[in-house]
Amino acid sequence: MTTIEDVARLAGLSRTTVSRVINNHPYVSKGKKKQVLDAMDKLGYVPNSAARSLRNQRTGVIAVLIPRVMNPFFSQLIEILETAASEKDYQLIICQTQYSKKKELAYLNLLKTRQVDGVILTSMANEWKTIAPFLEYGPIILCNEYDEQASVPMVFIDQFEAGYSATKHLIEQGHERIAYCCGKYTSNVADAREEGFKKALAEANLPFLEEYAFRSAFQSADGKQVFYDIQEMIEKPTAIFTGSDELAAGIISEAKKKGWRIPEDLAVVGFDNQMITELMDPMITTIHQPLEEMGSKAIAVILEKIHTKNYSHKEIHQFYMNLIVRESTVARKLVSL
Protein backbone atom coordinates (compact mmCIF):
# COMPACT_ATOMS: atom_id res chain seq x y z
CA MET A 1 0.00 0.00 0.00
CA THR A 2 1.37 3.35 -0.98
CA THR A 3 0.91 6.19 1.50
CA ILE A 4 1.29 9.92 1.55
CA GLU A 5 4.73 9.34 3.05
CA ASP A 6 5.87 7.45 -0.05
CA VAL A 7 4.68 10.25 -2.26
CA ALA A 8 6.44 12.85 -0.11
CA ARG A 9 9.68 10.91 -0.23
CA LEU A 10 9.60 10.43 -3.98
CA ALA A 11 8.79 14.08 -4.53
CA GLY A 12 11.45 15.13 -2.06
CA LEU A 13 8.93 17.13 -0.04
CA SER A 14 6.99 16.89 3.21
CA ARG A 15 3.74 15.08 3.84
CA THR A 16 2.12 18.43 4.51
CA THR A 17 2.82 19.70 1.05
CA VAL A 18 1.48 16.55 -0.48
CA SER A 19 -1.62 16.84 1.67
CA ARG A 20 -2.05 20.43 0.54
CA VAL A 21 -1.95 19.36 -3.07
CA ILE A 22 -4.45 16.56 -2.48
CA ASN A 23 -6.86 18.96 -0.84
CA ASN A 24 -6.34 21.78 -3.28
CA HIS A 25 -5.07 24.20 -0.71
CA PRO A 26 -3.63 27.47 -1.88
CA TYR A 27 -0.05 28.44 -1.12
CA VAL A 28 1.73 25.64 -2.92
CA SER A 29 4.17 26.76 -5.56
CA LYS A 30 3.49 25.59 -9.06
CA GLY A 31 6.71 23.68 -9.34
CA LYS A 32 6.30 21.66 -6.16
CA LYS A 33 2.70 21.00 -7.02
CA LYS A 34 3.83 19.40 -10.22
CA GLN A 35 6.47 17.33 -8.44
CA VAL A 36 3.79 16.03 -6.10
CA LEU A 37 1.35 15.29 -8.88
CA ASP A 38 4.02 13.42 -10.79
CA ALA A 39 4.98 11.37 -7.78
CA MET A 40 1.35 10.53 -7.04
CA ASP A 41 0.91 9.51 -10.60
CA LYS A 42 3.99 7.35 -10.71
CA LEU A 43 3.02 5.52 -7.54
CA GLY A 44 -0.65 5.27 -8.41
CA TYR A 45 -1.34 6.85 -5.08
CA VAL A 46 -4.87 7.20 -3.72
CA PRO A 47 -5.56 8.54 -0.23
CA ASN A 48 -6.76 6.01 2.30
CA SER A 49 -10.31 6.88 3.14
CA ALA A 50 -10.36 5.39 6.63
CA ALA A 51 -7.48 7.64 7.62
CA ARG A 52 -9.22 10.65 6.17
CA SER A 53 -12.49 9.80 7.88
CA LEU A 54 -10.73 9.38 11.18
CA ARG A 55 -8.89 12.62 10.83
CA ASN A 56 -11.69 14.71 9.35
CA GLN A 57 -14.54 13.21 11.30
CA ARG A 58 -16.54 12.77 8.14
CA THR A 59 -17.01 9.84 5.80
CA GLY A 60 -18.65 11.11 2.64
CA VAL A 61 -21.27 8.41 2.99
CA ILE A 62 -25.01 8.72 3.56
CA ALA A 63 -27.18 5.80 4.61
CA VAL A 64 -30.56 5.34 2.96
CA LEU A 65 -32.94 3.19 4.94
CA ILE A 66 -35.47 1.53 2.74
CA PRO A 67 -38.07 -1.14 3.48
CA ARG A 68 -37.40 -3.26 0.42
CA VAL A 69 -35.21 -2.58 -2.56
CA MET A 70 -37.42 -4.62 -4.85
CA ASN A 71 -40.40 -2.39 -4.40
CA PRO A 72 -40.22 -0.43 -7.66
CA PHE A 73 -41.20 2.79 -5.98
CA PHE A 74 -38.28 2.54 -3.61
CA SER A 75 -35.81 1.35 -6.20
CA GLN A 76 -36.72 4.37 -8.28
CA LEU A 77 -36.16 6.56 -5.25
CA ILE A 78 -32.77 4.94 -4.67
CA GLU A 79 -31.77 5.54 -8.25
CA ILE A 80 -32.66 9.20 -8.00
CA LEU A 81 -30.97 9.67 -4.63
CA GLU A 82 -27.87 7.85 -5.84
CA THR A 83 -27.59 10.06 -8.89
CA ALA A 84 -28.02 13.24 -6.86
CA ALA A 85 -25.56 12.11 -4.19
CA SER A 86 -22.88 11.04 -6.62
CA GLU A 87 -22.97 14.48 -8.21
CA LYS A 88 -21.90 15.83 -4.84
CA ASP A 89 -19.26 13.12 -4.41
CA TYR A 90 -21.21 11.35 -1.74
CA GLN A 91 -21.64 7.59 -1.60
CA LEU A 92 -24.94 6.03 -0.65
CA ILE A 93 -25.20 2.93 1.39
CA ILE A 94 -28.48 1.14 0.96
CA CYS A 95 -29.94 -0.51 4.02
CA GLN A 96 -33.00 -2.73 3.83
CA THR A 97 -35.09 -2.57 6.95
CA GLN A 98 -37.68 -5.11 5.80
CA TYR A 99 -40.14 -3.05 7.87
CA SER A 100 -38.38 -4.32 10.99
CA LYS A 101 -37.97 -2.03 13.99
CA LYS A 102 -34.89 -3.91 15.04
CA LYS A 103 -33.18 -3.63 11.69
CA GLU A 104 -34.03 0.03 11.49
CA LEU A 105 -32.34 0.66 14.83
CA ALA A 106 -29.36 -1.46 13.85
CA TYR A 107 -28.86 0.70 10.78
CA LEU A 108 -29.32 3.93 12.71
CA ASN A 109 -26.31 2.77 14.65
CA LEU A 110 -24.22 3.54 11.58
CA LEU A 111 -24.53 7.11 12.73
CA LYS A 112 -23.15 6.26 16.16
CA THR A 113 -20.22 4.32 14.77
CA ARG A 114 -19.53 7.24 12.44
CA GLN A 115 -19.75 5.04 9.43
CA VAL A 116 -22.04 7.53 7.76
CA ASP A 117 -22.48 11.29 7.88
CA GLY A 118 -26.26 11.17 7.82
CA VAL A 119 -29.34 9.01 7.40
CA ILE A 120 -32.26 9.32 5.03
CA LEU A 121 -35.33 7.50 6.26
CA THR A 122 -37.78 6.67 3.50
CA SER A 123 -40.16 4.95 5.86
CA MET A 124 -40.35 4.64 9.63
CA ALA A 125 -40.80 1.38 11.49
CA ASN A 126 -40.13 2.80 14.96
CA GLU A 127 -41.84 5.67 16.65
CA TRP A 128 -40.13 9.01 16.41
CA LYS A 129 -39.23 9.12 20.08
CA THR A 130 -37.19 5.95 19.61
CA ILE A 131 -35.34 7.47 16.69
CA ALA A 132 -34.81 10.94 18.09
CA PRO A 133 -31.84 10.08 20.35
CA PHE A 134 -29.74 9.21 17.30
CA LEU A 135 -29.86 12.85 16.28
CA GLU A 136 -27.08 13.40 18.76
CA TYR A 137 -24.73 11.66 16.34
CA GLY A 138 -25.70 13.16 13.04
CA PRO A 139 -28.53 14.36 10.83
CA ILE A 140 -31.57 12.28 10.00
CA ILE A 141 -34.15 13.37 7.47
CA LEU A 142 -37.39 11.88 6.24
CA CYS A 143 -37.92 11.47 2.52
CA ASN A 144 -41.32 10.19 1.44
CA GLU A 145 -42.42 10.05 5.05
CA TYR A 146 -43.99 12.46 7.46
CA ASP A 147 -44.22 12.49 11.21
CA GLU A 148 -45.93 15.08 13.31
CA GLN A 149 -43.47 14.58 16.17
CA ALA A 150 -40.26 14.58 14.19
CA SER A 151 -38.02 17.61 14.64
CA VAL A 152 -36.14 17.15 11.37
CA PRO A 153 -36.49 18.04 7.69
CA MET A 154 -39.20 16.11 5.90
CA VAL A 155 -39.56 15.83 2.17
CA PHE A 156 -42.86 14.35 1.06
CA ILE A 157 -45.89 14.76 -1.11
CA ASP A 158 -49.29 15.80 0.03
CA GLN A 159 -50.74 12.35 0.53
CA PHE A 160 -54.01 13.75 1.74
CA GLU A 161 -54.53 15.56 -1.52
CA ALA A 162 -53.51 12.44 -3.42
CA GLY A 163 -56.10 10.31 -1.69
CA TYR A 164 -58.66 13.02 -2.07
CA SER A 165 -58.22 13.71 -5.76
CA ALA A 166 -58.08 10.05 -6.75
CA THR A 167 -61.27 9.35 -4.87
CA LYS A 168 -62.98 12.42 -6.21
CA HIS A 169 -62.14 11.24 -9.70
CA LEU A 170 -63.85 7.92 -9.00
CA ILE A 171 -66.89 9.67 -7.61
CA GLU A 172 -67.07 11.83 -10.71
CA GLN A 173 -67.24 8.66 -12.75
CA GLY A 174 -70.46 7.90 -10.89
CA HIS A 175 -69.15 5.38 -8.36
CA GLU A 176 -70.83 5.19 -5.00
CA ARG A 177 -69.33 2.07 -3.53
CA ILE A 178 -65.59 2.67 -3.43
CA ALA A 179 -63.09 0.41 -1.66
CA TYR A 180 -59.86 1.53 -0.05
CA CYS A 181 -56.74 -0.59 -0.23
CA CYS A 182 -53.43 0.60 1.07
CA GLY A 183 -50.61 -1.02 3.03
CA LYS A 184 -50.01 0.48 6.39
CA TYR A 185 -46.23 0.27 6.52
CA THR A 186 -45.42 3.90 5.92
CA SER A 187 -47.67 4.67 8.78
CA ASN A 188 -48.39 8.34 8.52
CA VAL A 189 -48.36 8.29 4.77
CA ALA A 190 -51.16 5.76 4.64
CA ASP A 191 -53.13 7.63 7.27
CA ALA A 192 -53.07 10.86 5.29
CA ARG A 193 -54.19 9.08 2.17
CA GLU A 194 -57.06 7.54 4.04
CA GLU A 195 -58.09 10.93 5.38
CA GLY A 196 -58.14 12.30 1.87
CA PHE A 197 -60.15 9.32 0.72
CA LYS A 198 -62.68 9.86 3.50
CA LYS A 199 -62.98 13.55 2.85
CA ALA A 200 -63.89 12.97 -0.78
CA LEU A 201 -66.54 10.46 0.26
CA ALA A 202 -67.93 12.79 2.87
CA GLU A 203 -68.18 15.66 0.43
CA ALA A 204 -70.28 13.46 -1.82
CA ASN A 205 -72.36 12.26 1.11
CA LEU A 206 -71.11 8.74 0.67
CA PRO A 207 -70.47 6.57 3.72
CA PHE A 208 -67.07 5.11 4.53
CA LEU A 209 -67.57 1.37 4.93
CA GLU A 210 -65.11 -0.47 7.09
CA GLU A 211 -65.67 -3.69 5.15
CA TYR A 212 -64.39 -1.94 2.04
CA ALA A 213 -61.10 -1.06 3.72
CA PHE A 214 -58.05 -3.27 3.14
CA ARG A 215 -55.12 -2.03 5.16
CA SER A 216 -52.46 -4.67 4.89
CA ALA A 217 -51.90 -5.00 1.17
CA PHE A 218 -48.47 -4.21 -0.26
CA GLN A 219 -47.56 -6.23 -3.33
CA SER A 220 -49.25 -7.59 -6.38
CA ALA A 221 -49.87 -10.91 -4.65
CA ASP A 222 -51.84 -9.09 -1.97
CA GLY A 223 -53.86 -7.51 -4.76
CA LYS A 224 -55.02 -10.94 -5.83
CA GLN A 225 -56.29 -11.68 -2.34
CA VAL A 226 -58.07 -8.36 -2.17
CA PHE A 227 -59.85 -9.22 -5.36
CA TYR A 228 -60.96 -12.58 -3.99
CA ASP A 229 -62.31 -10.87 -0.89
CA ILE A 230 -64.25 -8.46 -3.05
CA GLN A 231 -65.58 -11.27 -5.18
CA GLU A 232 -67.10 -12.89 -2.10
CA MET A 233 -69.03 -9.79 -1.09
CA ILE A 234 -72.78 -9.61 -1.54
CA GLU A 235 -72.71 -5.91 -2.22
CA LYS A 236 -69.49 -5.46 -4.15
CA PRO A 237 -67.68 -2.16 -4.55
CA THR A 238 -67.61 -0.82 -8.10
CA ALA A 239 -64.31 1.00 -7.71
CA ILE A 240 -61.16 0.74 -5.64
CA PHE A 241 -58.42 3.13 -4.63
CA THR A 242 -55.06 1.41 -4.08
CA GLY A 243 -51.79 2.46 -2.52
CA SER A 244 -49.49 1.19 -5.24
CA ASP A 245 -49.47 0.32 -8.90
CA GLU A 246 -48.46 -3.28 -8.28
CA LEU A 247 -51.39 -3.68 -5.98
CA ALA A 248 -53.64 -2.27 -8.68
CA ALA A 249 -52.03 -4.53 -11.26
CA GLY A 250 -52.56 -7.56 -9.04
CA ILE A 251 -56.24 -6.77 -8.64
CA ILE A 252 -56.76 -6.07 -12.33
CA SER A 253 -54.89 -9.13 -13.47
CA GLU A 254 -56.85 -11.42 -11.19
CA ALA A 255 -60.17 -9.76 -11.92
CA LYS A 256 -59.64 -10.23 -15.64
CA LYS A 257 -58.85 -13.89 -15.14
CA LYS A 258 -62.21 -14.25 -13.46
CA GLY A 259 -63.94 -12.56 -16.36
CA TRP A 260 -64.48 -9.12 -14.84
CA ARG A 261 -64.28 -6.13 -17.14
CA ILE A 262 -62.13 -3.21 -16.05
CA PRO A 263 -63.31 -0.48 -15.53
CA GLU A 264 -66.92 -1.47 -16.22
CA ASP A 265 -67.18 -4.02 -13.41
CA LEU A 266 -64.47 -2.53 -11.24
CA ALA A 267 -62.60 0.74 -11.67
CA VAL A 268 -59.09 0.77 -10.21
CA VAL A 269 -56.73 3.60 -9.29
CA GLY A 270 -53.04 2.89 -8.68
CA PHE A 271 -50.35 4.96 -7.06
CA ASP A 272 -46.81 5.99 -8.10
CA ASN A 273 -47.08 6.01 -11.88
CA GLN A 274 -44.69 3.13 -12.39
CA MET A 275 -43.84 1.61 -15.74
CA ILE A 276 -46.38 -1.14 -15.22
CA THR A 277 -49.30 1.29 -15.45
CA GLU A 278 -48.70 1.64 -19.15
CA LEU A 279 -48.00 -2.00 -19.81
CA MET A 280 -51.18 -3.37 -18.34
CA ASP A 281 -54.32 -3.79 -20.35
CA PRO A 282 -56.19 -1.63 -19.42
CA MET A 283 -53.59 0.99 -18.65
CA ILE A 284 -53.83 2.12 -15.05
CA THR A 285 -55.04 5.46 -13.74
CA THR A 286 -52.56 6.53 -11.11
CA ILE A 287 -50.99 9.26 -8.99
CA HIS A 288 -47.74 10.72 -10.22
CA GLN A 289 -45.26 11.90 -7.62
CA PRO A 290 -42.48 14.32 -8.51
CA LEU A 291 -39.84 11.88 -7.32
CA GLU A 292 -36.92 13.53 -9.06
CA GLU A 293 -37.55 16.80 -7.31
CA MET A 294 -38.05 15.08 -3.99
CA GLY A 295 -34.82 13.14 -4.34
CA SER A 296 -32.73 16.17 -5.23
CA LYS A 297 -34.28 18.14 -2.42
CA ALA A 298 -33.58 15.36 0.07
CA ILE A 299 -29.91 15.23 -0.85
CA ALA A 300 -29.58 19.01 -0.83
CA VAL A 301 -31.21 19.20 2.58
CA ILE A 302 -29.16 16.49 4.21
CA LEU A 303 -25.91 17.91 2.89
CA GLU A 304 -26.88 21.25 4.31
CA LYS A 305 -27.55 19.63 7.69
CA ILE A 306 -24.23 17.83 7.56
CA HIS A 307 -22.46 21.11 7.02
CA THR A 308 -24.33 23.30 9.44
CA LYS A 309 -24.46 20.58 12.11
CA ASN A 310 -27.84 21.78 13.26
CA TYR A 311 -29.75 18.55 13.24
CA SER A 312 -32.83 19.09 15.34
CA HIS A 313 -34.95 21.42 13.34
CA LYS A 314 -38.30 20.69 11.78
CA GLU A 315 -38.60 21.67 8.14
CA ILE A 316 -41.46 20.91 5.81
CA HIS A 317 -40.71 20.38 2.13
CA GLN A 318 -44.01 19.42 0.64
CA PHE A 319 -44.51 18.51 -3.00
CA TYR A 320 -47.64 18.08 -5.02
CA MET A 321 -48.74 15.09 -7.01
CA ASN A 322 -51.12 14.83 -9.91
CA LEU A 323 -53.66 12.36 -11.07
CA ILE A 324 -53.05 10.65 -14.39
CA VAL A 325 -56.25 9.32 -15.87
CA ARG A 326 -55.98 6.17 -17.96
CA GLU A 327 -58.19 3.29 -18.96
CA SER A 328 -58.63 1.52 -15.64
CA THR A 329 -61.15 4.11 -14.48
CA VAL A 330 -62.60 5.51 -17.66
CA ALA A 331 -64.12 3.36 -20.38
CA ARG A 332 -61.66 3.18 -23.22
CA LYS A 333 -63.49 5.24 -25.82
CA LEU A 334 -63.70 8.14 -23.39
CA VAL A 335 -60.05 8.43 -22.49
CA SER A 336 -58.77 11.74 -23.76
CA LEU A 337 -55.62 11.14 -25.77
Residues 6+ apart with CB under 8 A from 288: 272, 273, 321, 322, 323, 324
Residues 6+ apart with CB under 8 A from 112: 134, 137
Site for DNA in 21-40 (CB under 7 A): 22-23, 27-29, 31-33
If contact means CB under 5 to 8 A according to the sort of partner, which of DNA, a second copy, none does residue 233 touch? none
The answer to whether residue 69 forms part of the interface with a second copy (CB under 8 A) is: yes
User: Which of 147, 154, 153 has the alpha carbon at shortest distance from 128?
Assistant: 147
The answer to whether residue 97 forms part of the interface with a second copy (CB under 8 A) is: no
* Closest approach of DNA to the CB of residue 50, in Å: 7
3-state secondary structure 197-265: HHHHHHHCCCCCCHHHEECCCCCHHHHHHHHHHHHHCCCCCCEEEECCHHHHHHHHHHHHHCCCCCCCC
* Closest approach of a second copy to the CB of residue 226, in Å: 14
If contact means CB under 5 to 8 A according to the sort of partner, which of a second copy, DNA, none does residue 259 touch? none
If contact means CB under 5 to 8 A according to the sort of partner, which of DNA, a second copy, none does residue 19 touch? DNA
The answer to whether residue 42 forms part of the interface with DNA (CB under 7 A) is: no
The answer to whether residue 20 forms part of the interface with DNA (CB under 7 A) is: yes
CA dist list (Å): 278 to 43, 193, 249, 335: 53, 23, 11, 14
The answer to whether residue 16 forms part of the interface with DNA (CB under 7 A) is: yes
In this chain, which of 120, 131, 182, 276 binds a second copy, going by CB under 8 A?
A: 276
Terminal alpha carbon distance of the chain: 62
In this chain, which of 36, 82, 135, 317 binds a second copy, going by CB under 8 A?
A: 82
Position 142: which residue type? L
The answer to whether residue 216 forms part of the interface with DNA (CB under 7 A) is: no
Residues 6+ apart with CB under 8 A from 265: 238, 255
Distance (Å, whole) CA 218 – CA 242: 9
The answer to whether residue 225 forms part of the interface with a second copy (CB under 8 A) is: no
In this chain, which of 14, 19, 91, 130 binds a second copy, going by CB under 8 A?
A: 91
Q: How many CB atoms lie within 10 A of CB 287?
A: 26
* Closest approach of DNA to the CB of residue 9, in Å: 11
Q: Which chain residues interact with a second copy by CB under 8 A?
A: 1, 44, 46-51, 53-54, 59, 61, 68-70, 72, 75-76, 78-79, 82-83, 86, 91-96, 109-110, 112-115, 219-220, 246, 249-250, 252-253, 256-257, 275-276, 278-281
Q: Which chain residues interact with DNA by CB under 7 A?
A: 1, 3-5, 13-17, 19-20, 22-23, 27-29, 31-33, 47-48, 51-52, 54-57
